[in-house]
Amino acid sequence: MGLVFSRLASILGRGPTLLLVVLLAGCTTADTLSIAPPANFEPSKYAAVVIDANTGQMLYGVNATDRRYPASLTKMMTLYLLFEAMDQGRVTRETQIPVSPHAAAMPPTKLHFRPGETIDIDSAIRAMVTKSANDVAVAVGEYLGGTETRFAGLMNEKARQLGMLNTVFQNASGLPEPAQHTTAYDMARLGLALRQRFPQYYYYFSIESFAFRGKLIRGHNKVLDTVPGADGIKTGYIRASGFNIVTSVSRDGRKLLVVVMGGKTAKERNERVAELVARYMPEAKAM
C-alpha cells in the first residue's frame, strides 16, 4: 500500500511510544477498490481510513490525504490541549471557565450560556464530547489561549508536533472557516494520539449523555450504540463537509481507529463505519 512504519517516541518528549503510519504514496489497492466509496457518498467529500490501533498499520484508505473540512472533529484538538493542561496541573476538573460575549454568540449546537456565566472543566469536556457545544469550545479556547485566534495558533503548533502536516485550524469549534481543513489521515493520527497520550481521560469519549443544570444533555454519536465495542470518539457536521466521524472500536484485544468523512446523512456515515469495522476487525492484531 505504499506504506512505511515509524515509531514516534514520546510525544512532546514524554508519554508512551506512538506507533503511527507514515504515508509515502496513495492507498489504492485491489482490496481498497473492492470497497470503493459507496454510491450514497459524494466523491468530493468522501474520505476514509482504517488503522490497526495496536500496530499503527493502515488497513484501508481512500482519499486519505485529500483536503476535507473537519467540522466538529476540530474539537478533538481543543480537547487534546485541554487534557494536556489538566495533565500539567494548569487546570483541574473543577476549574471554572468564563463564557465571553464572543463565545456566547456562537451558533448552535450550544448550551446557550449568557456572557459572564461559567462552566467547570469536567462539564465542558462532557459538553464538547456529547453535545459538541460550540460556545463551550470557544470558551475553552479563549481560556487556554487568551483569545480564540491565539488558541488556533496553539492548535496548529500541536498538529505539527503530532505529524498532522495537512491540517490548518482557524477556530476551536469547527464552525465553517474557508481556510480550515484537514485530512482523514490527520484525524486518524489525532485520534490515536488522544487514546495513547491521555488514557486517563479517554473514557470521556464514551459518554453518551450528561446532566447539566437539571437537564439531560444527549450526545450525537449513535455508533456507540450500534457498533459492538465502539468506545468513542467524535462526530462532526457542517454543510461543506458532510457527516464526519472518528471512531475507536475494541474487541477481544483487537483495536481499530476508523475515520469516515463526507456522509450525506449521519445514518449512512454510521453504516459505513459498521461495514469497515466488520471488514477489517478480523485483520487487526490481537494484543
In the chain, where the domains are located? 3-283
CA 212 to centroid of chain Cα atoms: 23
**3-state secondary structure (DSSP) of residue 213:** coil
Domain 3-283 listed as CATH 3.40.710.10 = yes
Strand partners, 50: 60, 258
Q: Is the pLDDT of residue 134 over 70?
A: yes
Could you give the percent of the chain with pLDDT greater than 70? 87
Strand partners, 246: 234, 259
Q: Residue 156 class from Cβ within 10 Å (0-12 exposed, 13-18 middle, 19+ buried)? A: middle
Amino acid at 48: A
Cell of 180: 480550515
Average predicted confidence (pLDDT) for the chain: 89
CA atoms within 13 A on the CB side of 40: 11
Cell of 117: 456565566
| Band (35; pLDDT cuts 50, 70, 90) | low
User: C-alpha angle 49/54/55, rounded to 5°?
Assistant: 75
Contact 143, 166 (CB under 8 A): no
Contact 26, 52 (CB under 8 A): no
Q: Tell me, what's the pLDDT at 39?
A: 77
Q: Is the pLDDT of residue 8 over 90?
A: no
Query: Which residues, other chains included, contact 129 with Cβ-Cβ below 8 Å and sequence gap of 6+?
Result: 75, 79, 204, 205, 207, 219, 232, 234
Query: Radius of gyration over alpha carbons of the chain, in Å?
Result: 18
**3-state secondary structure (DSSP) of residue 186:** helix
Q: Rounded CA gap, 97 and 120, in Å? A: 6
**3-state secondary structure (DSSP) of residue 170:** coil
The helix (run of H) or strand (run of E) holding residue 33 is helix 30-34
| Band (11; pLDDT cuts 50, 70, 90) | very low
Phi-psi region of 250 (alpha: psi -120 to 50; beta: other; left: phi over 0): beta
pTM for the structure as a whole:
0.89
Q: Tell me: the pLDDT tens digits for 141-197?
A: 999 999 999 999 999 999 999 999 999 999 999 999 999 999 999 999 999 999 999
Q: How many CB atoms lie within 10 A of CB 287?
A: 10
Task: Tell me phi and psi for residue 116, to 5 degrees.
Answer: 95, -15
Phi-psi region of 166 (alpha: psi -120 to 50; beta: other; left: phi over 0): alpha
Q: Is the pLDDT of residue 285 over 90?
A: yes
The sign of the dihedral angle between the CA atoms of 181, 187, 189, 195 is: positive
